[in-house]
Amino acid sequence: MSGKTVISMKIQVYNSTIQLVQGDITKQSVDAIVNAANSALAGGGGVDGAIHDAAGPLIMEETAQKYPEGCPTGEAVITAAGDLTAKFIIHTVGPVWGGGVRGEADLLKNAYSNSLKLAVEHHCESVAFPAISTGVYGYPIDLAAKQSLRSVADFLREHESSLRVSFVLFDNGSFGAYSNALEELSKMSTDW
């Protein structure tokens, strides 16, 4: 995919916005980019590798220094953003899909809500998420889209935050799944 960014639909949740973007997460103009990290915070492939490549080697040094024990699944930690235009990278660890019987839904919800807590604590006005756990961790994209969008909407409603939350999706399949889920969520959510 080129560096082109396509914005799809968006919804308001009180003073906040949830929007879908098709593009490269490392090119987003936001205060914080969320990294779908592994529990060792050791860099990797996919989104994690792309963010580390774009941010530069100082990120690995900072995570090793500040978080030598890594980050448990569902939790989140924050670092500077290195060479990215963002101020921060929030590293969160999503669950590996095991058929939905090992608490994956709660762990995925926690990954999103703990990332948003850090964004709010660091006075971020905008944050960009990838589709956490849907790559090599095998979380079914349609299910992840529904659960992650709902988790973010619930957080924004409960905390009455004022954030612009972007879900940055790299490929057409993910973008379509999240578009369908956001449309469904917007129809169900008349109390916002």
Which amino acid does the sequence have at 22? Q
Q: Once rounded to an integer, what is the mean pLDDT over residues 134-155?
A: 96
Judge whether residue 192 has pLDDT over 90: no
Q: Greater confidence, 45 or 192?
A: 45
Closest by CA to 149, choosing from 131, 122, 125, 124, is 131
Percentage of the residues of the chain whose pLDDT score is greater than 70: 94
Q: What is the pLDDT of residues 74-129, one digit of tens each?
A: 999 999 999 999 999 999 999 999 999 999 999 999 999 999 999 999 999 999 99
Q: What is the pLDDT of residues 157-174, one digit of tens each?
A: 998 878 999 999 989 999
Rounded distance between C-alpha atoms, residue 94 and residue 34, angstroms: 11
Q: Is 24 a catalytic residue?
A: no
Instruction: Give me the catalytic one of 48, 53, 83, 154.
Output: 48
